Chains A and B, each alone.
Chain A
Amino acid sequence: GAVVSQHPSRVICKSGTSVKIECRSLDFQATTMFWYRQFPKQSLMLMATSNEGSKATYEQGVEKDKFLINHASLTLSTLTVTSAHPEDSSFYICSARGTSGREEQFFGPGTRLTVL
């Protein structure tokens, strides 16, 4: 099956700093990538959808100036959490959908962000 990597897997940062999370599709081209956030014991919450070469589409309530998404190539999307605060601490997961015509999303392993 398709493989999606995410880096870093875990990050601890101070309040006010910015954190960049990378999501890569390793063996397929991902025309669309998705960024999710998941708080403990809750379901996935879609933050934004990004298509290669165009601006990301953010879900209602997600600040686009705080969560910067760049989908510069068919294999890489990045999420930057700017001026992170403790309430941004969460599990961030990316997924990618390829060009094969199947609609399943392949998930990266997730990034655990802790803001002190």
Chain B
Amino acid sequence: GQNIDQPTEMTATEGAIVQINCTYQTSGFNGLFWYQQHAGEAPTFLSYNVLDGLEEKGRFSSFLSRSKGYSYLLLKELQMKDSASYLCAVSDSNYQLIWGAGTKLIIKP
């Protein structure tokens, strides 16, 4: 079967760095996405990785290792507004997105 695993909840301190991991087992791979979702709102796109390596975009970076079925989202200089759920999703062989359950990130002052 297809499976995406990510931690349910993480807590970090304002100004710090946090890494959210995602492991996946899917039938085929056409890229991995990270989305941010604030409570009561729709997800917003953060990053897309289809090749191995690190993609940096401002305070957010995303890493992919296809051989390990592993990705992480790195958030630097955390701000209170970064408190949200972070969803990992993999595009399978049919370009269907398989969603993880999301990681709720709590930022403390």
Binding site for B on A (CB under 8 A): 1, 34, 42-44, 46, 49, 91, 93, 102-110, 112
Instruction: Number of B interface residues at 8 Å Cβ cutoff, please give it.
Output: 20
Q: Are A93 and B45 in contact (CB under 8 A)?
A: no
Binding site for A on B (CB under 8 A): 30-31, 33, 35, 40-45, 48, 87, 91, 95-97, 99-102
In the complex, A112→B39 CA distance in Å? 12
Residues of A within 8 A of B44 (CB): 107
Q: Are B43 and A107 in contact (CB under 8 A)?
A: yes
In the complex, A63→B97 CA distance in Å? 20
Which listed residue (A44, A102, A109) contacts B87, Cβ 8 A?
A: A44
For A6, the closest partner residue in chain B by CB is: B42
Which listed residue (B40, B41, B48, B99) contacts A104, Cβ 8 A?
A: B48
Which listed residue (B31, B45, B99) contacts A44, Cβ 8 A?
A: B99
Q: Are A103 and B91 in contact (CB under 8 A)?
A: yes
In the complex, A42→B39 CA distance in Å? 11
In the complex, A78→B44 CA distance in Å? 21
For A4, the closest partner residue in chain B by CB is: B42
